[in-house]
Structure 1
Amino acid sequence: MLAMMALLVAGTVMGAGAAAAESNGGVRVMPLGDSITEGTQVPGGYRIGLWQRLAGGRYTIDFVGSQFNGPGNLGDHDHEGHPGWRIDQIDANITGWLRTYTPRTVLLHLGTNDILQNYNVAGAPQRLSTLIDHITAAVPDADVLVATIIPLSNAGQEAAARTFNAAVPGIVQSKASSGKRVHLVDMHSKLTTADLIDGVHPTAGGYDKMAAAWYAALQSVSGSIGQPGDGSSGAVAIRGVGSGRCLDVSGASQVNGAQAHIWDCSGQPNQQWTPTASGELRVYGGKCLDVSNRSTADAAGVGIWDCNGQSNQQWRFNADGTITAVGANKCLDVPSYSTANGVKLQIYTCHTGTNQRWTRVG
C-alpha cells in the first residue's frame, strides 16, 4: 500500500489491466465501455477530469470495475473499459461484473467498435437496448447514464455513428417510460473531430470535455453521486417509531455477527450509526449493519460485520420512514410490532407499519 501511495504521489502512470480494487467507501460508479473508457492514447481518459471535478465538488466516489489504469492525479483507477470490445462482448460479461461490484451508478459509452469493425451495424441499437436491459435487471436500483458515442474522423464511419446515435434517445426513453432508471447523455455534440488524436480517441482536451459532460449529467440525476460533503451525514441514533427504542448492537459488542436489536436510547457508541454515501450504516468506524449471510428471505437476521461494500450492507432511507436493505429489497423490521428491549431485528417485506418506520436523531 505504501508503494502504491508513493507511485500516486509521484504521478506515475499506472499500467492497464486488472489490479486490487481501490475503495474509499464512496458511492460506487462504474465507468463502462471500450478503449474510450479505458483511456487509450491518454491513460485514464475522461476519468481523470471526472474524478477531479467530483473531488472538487466534495463528492465521495468509488470508481469500480475489473480494470485498472491511469496517472497519479486520478484518485481511483478502477474501471470497466475494454479496448476493442463491441456491445455484444461487453454484454456477455456484464452480469458477472455487476454482481461483483454492485455499482450505484453506471456510465455507459459503447458502440464505437461495432462501427469500426463494421459488425452488423444495423443491429447495434438493438444490442445496446438488450445490454441496458441486462444492466437494469442486475442492478435495478442503479442509475444508468447512456451516452451517445463521440464523433469519428472517417466520414463513412461518422455517418454510421450518427445513425446509431439517432436511435439512442428512443431506446433510453423507452426504458425510462417503463420505470427504469436510465438517462441520456448527449456526448456526441460535446466533441468535434478536432478533439481526436487519432481519428477515434480523444486528446487530453477531448477527454476533459467528456468529463465535463459526465459530471453535468451526474449532477442532474439526484442520488447518482450522493451529496457533496465528507461522504457521510454524521453519526445519528436511529429510533423506531413504534417502539421508541433505538437501533443498538447487542451487548455493545464489536464482534462480527453481533446482533442488532432495539434498546432504550442511550447515546452510547453502539447506537451511533454513520450513513455513508455508498449506503452503509457504520458503527464503531469499521463495522457495518449487515443482513446475515446475504439473505434475501423474510425474517433474515441483521447484525454487524466488517464493512465490505457488498449489497447486504447497503441501506436506503425512504421518505415514509422505512429503511430498505438494498440487496434484499426488504425493510428493517421489528418482529411482531414488539416494543420490548432486546428484540432482535430482521428484514421483512415492506409494508410501512410502525415496526418498519424509523427516525434519525442526531
Structure 2
Amino acid sequence: MRPSEPRTWRRWWALVLTVVALAATGTMLGTGVAGAESNGGVRVMPLGDSITEGTQVPGGYRIGLWQRLAAGRYTIDFVGSQFNGPGNLGDHDHEGHPGWRIDQIDANIAGWLRTYTPRTVLLHIGTNDILQNYNVSGAPQRLSALIDHITTAVPNADVFVATIIPLSNSGQEAAARTFNAAIPGIVQSKVSSGKHVHLVDMHSKLTTSDLIDGIHPTAGGYDKMAAAWYAALQSVSGSIGQPGDNPSGAMAIRGVGSGRCLDVTGASQTNGAQAQIWDCNSQPNQQWTPTASGELRVYGGKCLDVSNRSTADGAGVAIWDCNGQSNQQWRFNTDGSITAVGANKCLDVPNYSTANGVKLQIWSCSGATNQRWTRISP
C-alpha cells in the first residue's frame, strides 16, 4: 500500500517532528503527551508518579490491569495526559509523573479532572515525598487535601487510594510505613462524609524482592499491583461497569465465510496499520463503532480507510486518522456486504481465505461469502 501524496507529506512531517522531540528529550521510551486513545468505555484514570508511569517496565501495572479487564470483558478507557507502554497494553493513556510528590499532583489535578472527567481514579502517591524527605510528617495531610480536591471535582467518581509499595532502604521504608499507617483513617474520614473513597492495601502485596532498583517493581511486582487494583475495582459495583457492557456502541464484525473478525493487525494504532481477519477475541482492535457519517471507528479516533482513496479492485484497507473523506465511509447492505462508499466496492477477504492474518481489500461486489459480514456484540 502506498499512501497518497498528502498523506506521505503528513507522515514525513510527523516523523520529522517526532525525531526532533525525541532528540530534545534524549529518550526513546515512548512517554509523552497522550494520544487520547478511547474505546468509549468507563473512564479510569491511573494517577500518581513513576510507579504509575511504569519506570523500569514501561506501562507498569497498567499492562496486567488492562489484560485482566479485557479478559473479564470490561470495556475500560484509561485516561490522562501521559502516554506510554508496550503494544500488549491496549490503552496507553495515564496520569503518572515520574519524580512528582503529592503537592505537585495536587497543583494540577483540577485541570486534569476537568479535561478527562474520570469515572474512577486509581491513586498511588507519596513515594517521592519519602524519597525527597519532603516534609514527610505533613504528607498525610497533603494526601487528605488531594483526595478532597478529587472528590470535589468529580463527586460521583470512585477514588481508590493505595498505600505505597515497600522501599528497600530501611530508613525510607520506616517512613513509608508511618505514612501508610495514616491512610486508612484518612479514607475512613472521607467515607464517613459520604465520599466514594476506597482503601487499597498495596504495601502488603509486594516485598522488596519485587523491586528492580529498590524503588520500582519488576514486571512481576507490577503484575501483583495489577491484581490488587483489579480485585479492588471488582469489589465496588459500577466502578468499571459490568462485564459485557458496551458504552460506546461498538461491535465486532465477523466474516461469514471465515468466521473470523475484522481486526487491526498487531493491535496497532498507527496510521496505515492494515485491517485483517483474526479469531474473534473482544479486544479493542476488533471493536468498531459506526457513526452517522458512515465511518467505522476503532480506538475512538481512527477510521477504517481505503488506502490512497483508491477505487481499484485489490486496494488495501487500513486504519487512519478520521478525516471525513469518502474513502472512510462504509455502508452496511441487507445481504451482509459492506460497501466502501468512495469506491463502490465491497470489503473482501482475498481468495476466500479463512486464515488468521489475511489482509483485507476492496473488490467488485459479488455477494460471495468472503464479502459478507455479521455484526456481533464485542
With normalisation by structure 1, the TM-score equals: 0.61
Q: Which residue of 48, 53, 71 maps to 1:38?
A: 53
Q: Distance in 2 between matches of 1:55 and 1:130?
A: 33
Residue 103 of structure 1 pairs with residue 118 of structure 2: yes
Task: Name the SS for the 2:159 alignment partner.
Answer: strand
Pair 1:120 & 2:135 matched: yes
Q: How far off is 1:231 after superposition?
A: 1.6
SS of structure 1 residue aligned to 2:141: helix
**CA drift at 1:20:** 1.9
Describe how 1:241-252 pairs up with structure 2 within 5 A.
none
Which amino acid in 2 is paired with 1:60? T
Task: Report the residue type matching 2:102 in the other structure.
Answer: I
Matched, 1:23 2:38: yes
CA distance in 2, matches of 1:232, 1:154: 45
Secondary structure of the equivalent of 1:93?
Answer: helix
Count of residue pairs the alignment pairs up: 232
Q: Is residue 2:209 matched to residue 1:194? A: yes
Q: Deviations over 1:237-260 (max 9, x none)?
A: xxxxxxxxxxxxxxxxxxxxxxxx
C-alpha distance after superposition, 1:112-133 (max 9, x if no partner): 0000000000000000000000
Q: Which amino acid aligns with 1:92?
A: A
AA aligned to 1:198 is D
Q: Does 1:75 align with 2:81?
A: no
Q: Which residue of 1 aligns with 2:178?
A: 163
- CA positional deviation for 1:224: 0.2
1:19-54: CA deviation from partner (whole Å, max 9, x where unpaired): 321000000000000000000000000000000000
Match for residue 65 of structure 1?
Answer: 80
Q: Is the 8 A contact 1:14 1:71 kept in 2?
A: no
Matches for 1:232-247 after TM superposition, within 5 Å: 232=247
- Say whether the 8 Å CA contact 2:42–2:247 is kept in structure 1: no
Q: CA deviation at 1:94?
A: 0.1
**Separation in 1, partners of 2:247, 2:178:** 43
Contact (CA 8 Å) 2:51, 2:60: kept in 1 or not?
yes
Task: Quote the offset at 1:17 in angstroms.
Answer: 1.0
Kindly provide the amino acid, as one letter, of the partner of residue 206 in structure 1: G
Report the aligned-residue RMSD.
2.3
What residue is the counterpart of 1:87 in the other structure? 102
Secondary structure in structure 2 of the residue aligned to 1:202: coil
Aligned residue for 1:293? none
Mapping 1:1-362, distance limit 5 Å = 15-232=30-247, 286=291
Give unmatched runs, 5+ long, in structure 2: 1-6, 12-27, 251-288, 293-299, 301-378
3-state secondary structure, aligned to 1:215 = helix
| Alpha carbons 1:175, 1:182 under 8 Å: kept | yes
Q: Percent identity?
A: 88
Q: Distance in 2 between matches of 1:88 and 1:231?
A: 37
Instruction: Report SS of the residue matched to 1:32.
Output: strand
Conservation of the 8 A alpha-carbon contact between 1:30 and 1:106 = yes
Unpaired stretches in structure 1, ≥5 consecutive residues: 4-12, 236-283, 288-308, 310-362
The residue type paired with residue 39 of structure 2 is N
